[in-house]
Amino acid sequence: MSKVAVVTGSAGGLGRGIAEKLCSNGFSVVLHDINEELLNKTVEELKGKNFDVIGVKGDVSIREDQFNLVKEAVDKFGHLDVFVNNAGIDAVTPFLLIKEDELNRLFRINVNGVVFGTQAAAEQFIKQKTKGKIINACSIAGHESYAMLGTYSATKHAVRSFTQTAAKELAKHQITVNAYCPGIAKTKMWDRIDQEMVKYSDDLKPGEAFEKFSSEIALQRYQTPEDVANLVDFLASEASDYITGQAILTDGGLVYR
């Protein structure tokens, strides 16, 4: 019986990389995204590689959607082993200009989404009476707060906090809860961050905010989805069974904790 994983926000970017890695290691994977068109395209591409996948459209910030996502996974594949809370959004704003809408939007998706996904997955693991793995998208911004990324950094610190609390409460059920903390990966998220940072700067040109952040990386290259997927793959495997409540950096040497 193959293992079953759900990856939220996996129509593109890091989530897609994670889904592909788990598929290539024999998982059946439920891809999930709010962007239905891209989700359907990605599902077809992965099916074309003979991967065992389905797609479920949903919004992580809606609690009911997260429980429905787990239900769809179990209806299709019979059980659940791994739930990756990957979906997240960004905002670039000088601190003095942060407004209520930005705070609510980012916390709803980046934090509420992780809480609801964790609850839905844990409920299923407890019902199954099996161990289970919950893996959350944190960031270097969950360890270090960045200028212009105040709201985003606060949400990622909150993800780290909920990862610890959930790990402590769910350990008695043999459920582990960990987080991966990527550095600077060239996905649509960083394309947007770069564009916005350039708008607020007098001297940066398009691409230069990304280059500036990347130039600090000790290993001298920006991150790929595969780099991130390698850590998530480990956290999804039995090799990580004795690890819980951790927010592990994978950033090529950028933030040292």
Annotated binding site for NAD(+): 33, 59-60, 86, 152, 156, 182-187
Q: Applying CB under 6 A, does 140 fall inside the site for ligand BUO?
A: yes
Closest separation in Å from C-beta 181 to ligand NAI: 7
For 101, counting Cβ atoms within 10 Å of its Cβ (0-12 exposed, 13-18 middle, 19+ buried), the class is: exposed
- Under 8 Å between Cβ of 76 and 127: no
Instruction: Choose the binding region for ligand BUO from 59-67, 140-148, 220-228, 241-249 (rule: CB under 6 A).
Output: 140-148
Residue from the set 29, 31, 82, 89 that interacts with ligand NAI by CB under 6 A:
89
Main-chain dihedrals φ then ψ at residue 102, nearest 5 degrees: -65, -45
**Catalytic residue list:** 152
Taking the least distance from each CB to ligand BUO, the nearer of 72 and 251 is: 251
Q: Give the shortest CB-53-to-ligand NAI separation in angstroms.
A: 15
- Quote the DSSP letter at residue 217: -
Decide if residue 187 touches ligand NAI (CB under 6 A): yes
Decide if residue 189 touches ligand BUO (CB under 6 A): yes
Position 232 contacts ligand NAI (CB under 6 A) = no
What's the CA gap between 181 and 159, in Å, rounded?
Answer: 10
| Rounded-to-integer distance, Cα 47 and Cα 128, Å | 28
Q: Which helix (H) or strand (E) holds 167?
A: helix 150-170
SS3 76: helix
The contact set with ligand NAI (CB under 6 A) reads: 8-9, 11-15, 33-35, 59-61, 86-89, 109, 137, 139, 182, 184-185, 187-190
